[in-house]
Amino acid sequence: MGSSQSALNFGAGPAKLPREVLEEVQKELLSFGESGMSLMEMSHRSKEYSKINNDAQKAVRELLHVPDNYKILFIQGGGTGAFAAVAMNLINRTGSADYAVTGTWSGKAAKEAAKYGKVNLVFPKADKPGSIPAESTWTLNPDAAYLYYCDNETVDGVEFPYIPNANGIPIVSDMSSSIMTKRVDITKFGCIIAGAQKNIGPAGVTVVIIREDLLGNPMKICPSVFDFTHINKENSVHNTPATFSVYVMEKVLQWIKKNGGVEAMEAQSSQKKTLLYDAILHSNNFYSCPIDEDVRSRINVPFRVGGPQGNEDLETKFLQEAEKLKMFQLKGHRSVGGMRASLYNAVTSDDVNLLVKFMNEFRKQYG
């Protein structure tokens, strides 16, 4: 698999896609099937696209064992669009919602939702993300329309090791960076949102999984392109969808199926995570991860080089040396600095082994 041209891509998103999928897309690019047309050139009402749309929904359902009383929708507007859509579709019931802010993206989601209703932060915002306060200390509002949390904070590297208990209130989770990397009990959720551009496809499509009984109550101001009830009625072709993105996503989902499903992705994720965190742990503090051990992300691993505060000169050197070995997109998010390695489904254990080998050599030379 792969040619000598392929880079080792540890980017946070848009992120590495399976090479096989890209090769298949390349093969079909000029003529989808016998059509003589690219899928990009076909109507979203064509039988070809209808099949892709239905197959993609079916694959999400199969891979995540989504029960029949949940609907699977594809929307545009990215994860950020979904922050607004969640509030506009779900907050109406009581006018307020609970948010557990554990990092950048849940913070942005809470801010967006506050435009549409009352937002209660279930614990005070930490000055520095990197931990999740014990659930027993959360202040839940019994009248909240839903409890929102981000399963995996892509920027900060904080992942929930459990699904919170919301005392029967619907739970909404942003799984943009963790979808299809682990099994989840869908019945615990009211709604799941996930931008595709990390684990399941290119940018341009966001997957929404929503419990049927939560449909039917959008705010009047909700634009139809964000109205889950309307989108569900129209089977996600209410207007022109991001057809090419859905097409590639469908192929990635089939690739996951072929490679053992979410169960296999979870096992591989655990292996990759162990490799990288062990290298950090056994580096005599040359590498360090600022996140509390029990909530460290399996997917996005932030770390500093040259001591716990990081040494910026060494970090620049680290990135330069890594690029010479074709290891790309290791720079941490601009808001937190340092490094970040993202270990999405298409990133293999071999890729991580090469990164760890490089890290060990770099430490020997500069540590």
Positions annotated as catalytic residues are 105, 174, 198
Nearest one of 50, 106, 94 to 74, comparing CA atoms: 50
Is 89 within 8 Å of 95 (Cβ atoms)?
no
Question: Which residues is 208 bridged to in the sheet?
Answer: 73, 193
Cβ of residue 172: shortest distance to ligand PMP, in angstroms? 12
Query: What's the alpha-carbon Rg for the chain, to the nearest Å?
Result: 21
77 in the Ramachandran plot: left (φ > 0), alpha (ψ -120 to 50) or beta? left
Nearer to ligand PMP, 78 or 261 (CB): 78
Nearest one of 91, 79, 165 to 122, comparing CA atoms: 165
Nearest one of 321, 327, 202, 337 to 276, comparing CA atoms: 327
Residue type at 253? L
Is 238 within 8 Å of 224 (Cβ atoms)?
yes
Nearer to ligand PMP, 15 or 166 (CB): 15
CA distance 276 to 271: 9
CA distance 232 to 191: 13
Residue type at 195? G
Estimate the crossing angle of helix 47-64 against helix 243-258, to 10 degrees. 40
Q: Which burial class, exposed, middle or buried, applies to 196 when counting CB atoms under 10 A from its CB (0-12, 13-18, 19+)?
A: buried
Residues that bind ligand PMP (CB under 6 A): 13, 78-80, 105, 150, 154, 174, 176-177, 195
CA distance 81 to 153: 17
